[in-house]
Chains A and B, each alone.
Chain A
């Protein structure tokens, strides 16, 4: 996990990019203040294809029509916009908002794809619009941004709620009830596919976990995909992992920080593995090169997810149990045991007060 403090070293807030699909019309400008549920842009969904005969209205043979077309393939058409015009002034017009695709010389018809009603593009973050381009809207977010190592799902926002008692507790299906609807839950070390399915059914917006078994995440993703394919699935849902795959506890320091921010508005981006906690204090900072005395989190089995203090670095390369020689640090685990761990498998975690 990588964490950017709400104000980085340059004093700049975290910047989030809201991608705009092609054809989207922005409704905000640079400098606008936006809310998580605000519509930042709108676009028309692609609808059904239709074929329109051009030969009959223009009274021409199919091979004569090409020269009479007023639009090129791929053009966007407004309602009543002329598609083709004969020498006598007769016209064929678009039946509505549409995209002109092709003209068939075989039957003299034009293939159009109708565009449906406008649908909103929601940013799911709050902050100040920095830039509006054809491809994205960037928003400066006053809060903490946490980058996870995995996840799935949509962009969602909701109130942050802690659903487990300890950082290494598994999030059980029974811990989720209807009061969690619309919330972003902080789980612990794992959630089963059953728990995720129940959370989805209960209307939970998203779940933040230390780890999850890849198999269970894949199973859940497959269920979601199938439900989407057969239709009837409503509402968005996201899962983000902060530490790793498998049963991996959230770092205790980070868990405490998240618990301290329960009740704040948060935004979760499943596919991008991002969590924003709005109006939040600095979270524990992670750095990849640990130094002696740092509190560290271990990232490979058998100690994955466990934390301790780096008490020394061995002078020479040390063989790991796999036989790979590596620069190795000695970590005093929280239970007092010492473990030699390659430095590359460690991440230092620095409390906010020491930033």
Chain B
């Protein structure tokens, strides 16, 4: 329950004189491939709140879900309505979305695996397709082998790519011919996204109307523009696989809600939704008009991704654990997670493996795609929402995404962003507005620096809170992470000085700056571990460092106290959690670099955020 107050109804609000109350509620439901999340939205004390929430394996069915919600509603609803809860839920307006039933399957024929083939794959995978087969003239296979491979592929569409726009490579025509031979008529659409000079000849390989010619994503050696191809693939996917409309698809809904949050608050927002099968990344820039939105949908980019169970990935994952779990156990845990995505990690070892897998998927999702500086980062998906503590979720997000700069980090804890995005355009903003208190769970603000010299001072910070004594200066060395408590709803001014080559992204590339930060379940995280994370090469050292970070991050936050009850001698440093990296700890007191005042800037995080949104 998000609210322990009894849920009031229209009638009771009117003065408790009505003979019998009525209820206005809606159900927000996200039917995922593994878990279904449902939230009951109702009016309580004059405001719309999430009054009950439940998440359960999708294959348990709707009846079980409604039973749980009924039970939880009974605890929250006006006592006169308790017996009517099942009927109220039955008649509630439903706003639903779901994970696509299946992804689009694409066969790709390319001239080169590394250039046109790679571009085609990236465009397809980021548009929600799965490339089930790919053949390139230089992939080392003979012509008959490539033809056999394509012939055996079961696909929804074919994509043929290759050749710069001023060239007429024979291999491109050969690729088209291979697809024509493998396809053997039928209605399967073909996309030609290669040399413009060959468009007519490629079209002639197929029946009239079959080929759609799209702008070449690699028109020359120096240019790559995947946009038109991705856009066409998205449209084709909508038409072929989800002909009933795409607004109710969770990845689409998620993107729409992220865009609306950015537009309303004029923020640069990144949202990541890590599901069992799908992974969605969306970036919306609300500081420009109209809002620019960019998103990627990976049909097999979620926690069940086969990319996690390759030998290199398993090894990498095992080396990123704080506990000594051998690769055999890691591999089995990952496979069991894939086989039964709705089951939960039972032991700490399993949890660490699952969270390491989530970090790896997030890192792959954001590869070369994280904007230089964003205001708000939203994490969504069961693996984050079900993390045992907010700090665990924060760690997965921070280590996986490494957002450089000063970023407010929040969780879509109830999984309502995707269902909200399935509303008509004009209603999404309204939905966000009425649920502003419950929509997102603030974890806090992260300050992530780049660079810095190992073991040397990277960040000097002072957190000025209203009602607190003058803060003590906190120092963070390169390779360290440190958490300062700042409760949910609290705002403070963070004064930062960057030292030893540590930087924040432009326009905050200043050595001294001030930023308004907001608190959350975690607080303010000062993270000088570089982007990407730098780790020792030796396994033991690496494990020691990772365990140290985890220990630092997982300590329970010490609640802040206002000035009037705090003892005089107690400084705000109390409750500060600090970790010194392995051997570097001994050098902590070595001489700091002199103050370097190259620039000074004053910035605000979450500027122009509407009051109350992040409280």
Identify the A interface with B (CB < 8 A).
Answer: 19, 21-23, 45-49, 72-76, 99-102, 104, 106, 111, 113, 134-135, 149-150, 213-215, 218, 244-246, 288-289, 299-304, 319-326, 341-342, 344-345
Chain A residues with CB under 8 Å of B340's CB are 149, 244, 299
- Having A74-B178, A301-B346, one finds 15 other A-B pairs with CB under 8 Å, namely A19-B154, A23-B151, A49-B142, A73-B177, A102-B170, A106-B170, A149-B336, A214-B328, A244-B332, A244-B335, A299-B340, A300-B350, A303-B346, A322-B351, A344-B57
- With A244-B336, A324-B351, A324-B388 given, is the CB distance from A72 to B180 under 8 Å? yes
Interface residues on B, range: 35 or more
Chain B residues with CB under 8 Å of A299's CB are 336, 340, 343
- Please state if A113 and B57 are interface contacts (CB–CB under 8 Å): no
- Please state if B346 and A73 are interface contacts (CB–CB under 8 Å): no
Chain A residues with CB under 8 Å of B115's CB are none
- Please state if A214 and B184 are interface contacts (CB–CB under 8 Å): no
- Flag whether B331 is at the interface (Cβ < 8 A): yes
CA distance A289 to B342 in the complex (A): 12
CA distance A206 to B340 in the complex (A): 24
Query: What is the distance, in angstroms, from A260's C-beta to the closest C-beta of chain B?
Result: 26
- Please state if A73 and B154 are interface contacts (CB–CB under 8 Å): no
CA distance A46 to B388 in the complex (A): 55
Interface of B is mostly: helix
Nearest chain B residue, comparing its CB with the CB of A218? B311
- Please state if B183 and A288 are interface contacts (CB–CB under 8 Å): no
- With A74-B179, A245-B335, A299-B340 given, is the CB distance from A46 to B147 under 8 Å? yes
Chain B residues with CB under 8 Å of A45's CB are 148
Chain B residues with CB under 8 Å of A73's CB are 173, 176-177, 180-181, 204-205
Chain B residues with CB under 8 Å of A134's CB are 186
Chain B residues with CB under 8 Å of A23's CB are 151, 184
- Flag whether B182 is at the interface (Cβ < 8 A): yes
Task: Kindly identify, within residues 376 to 400 of chain B, every residue whose CB is under 8 Å from any CB belonging to chain A.
Answer: 386-389, 392
Query: What is the distance, in angstroms, from B179's C-beta to the closest C-beta of chain A?
Result: 7
CA distance A157 to B60 in the complex (A): 34
Question: Can you report 18 A-B residue pairs in the complex whose CB atoms are below 8 A from each other?
Answer: A22-B152, A46-B151, A74-B182, A101-B181, A149-B336, A150-B335, A213-B328, A244-B335, A245-B336, A246-B336, A300-B347, A301-B333, A303-B346, A320-B345, A320-B346, A321-B347, A322-B348, A322-B388
CA distance A321 to B154 in the complex (A): 44
- Flag whether B327 is at the interface (Cβ < 8 A): yes
- Please state if A323 and B332 are interface contacts (CB–CB under 8 Å): no
Query: What is the distance, in angstroms, from A19's C-beta to the closest C-beta of chain B?
Result: 7
- Flag whether B143 is at the interface (Cβ < 8 A): yes
Query: What is the distance, in angstroms, from B203's C-beta to the closest C-beta of chain A?
Result: 11
Chain A residues with CB under 8 Å of B386's CB are 324
- Flag whether B344 is at the interface (Cβ < 8 A): yes
- Please state if B343 and A300 are interface contacts (CB–CB under 8 Å): yes
- Please state if B180 and A74 are interface contacts (CB–CB under 8 Å): yes
Chain A residues with CB under 8 Å of B586's CB are none
- Please state if A21 and B181 are interface contacts (CB–CB under 8 Å): no
Query: What is the distance, in angstroms, from A304's C-beta to the closest C-beta of chain B?
Result: 7
- Please state if B345 and A101 are interface contacts (CB–CB under 8 Å): no
Contact with A along B335-371 (1 / 0, CB 8 A): 1100110111111111100000000000000000000
Query: What is the distance, in angstroms, from B6's C-beta to the closest C-beta of chain A?
Result: 20
Nearest chain A residue, comparing its CB with the CB of B354? A322
Chain A residues with CB under 8 Å of B143's CB are 49, 101, 111, 113
Chain B residues with CB under 8 Å of A342's CB are 343-344, 346
Contact among A99, A150, A218, A324 for B345, CB-based, below 8 A: A324
Chain B residues with CB under 8 Å of A101's CB are 143, 174, 177-178, 181
- Please state if A21 and B178 are interface contacts (CB–CB under 8 Å): no
- With a 10 A CB-CB cut-off, give which of B144, B186, B206 has the most chain A CB atoms: B144
CA distance A322 to B352 in the complex (A): 9
Chain B residues with CB under 8 Å of A320's CB are 344-347
Chain B residues with CB under 8 Å of A150's CB are 335, 339
- Flag whether B407 is at the interface (Cβ < 8 A): no
Nearest chain A residue, comparing its CB with the CB of B59? A288
- Please state if A245 and B345 are interface contacts (CB–CB under 8 Å): no
CA distance A288 to B206 in the complex (A): 48
- With A23-B151, A322-B347 given, is the CB distance from A113 to B144 under 8 Å? yes
- With A73-B180, A74-B179, A113-B144 given, is the CB distance from A215 to B344 under 8 Å? no
CA distance A69 to B186 in the complex (A): 23
Contact among B144, B183, B342, B387 for A74, CB-based, below 8 A: B183
- Please state if A345 and B181 are interface contacts (CB–CB under 8 Å): no
- Flag whether B558 is at the interface (Cβ < 8 A): no
CA distance A74 to B206 in the complex (A): 8
- Flag whether B18 is at the interface (Cβ < 8 A): no
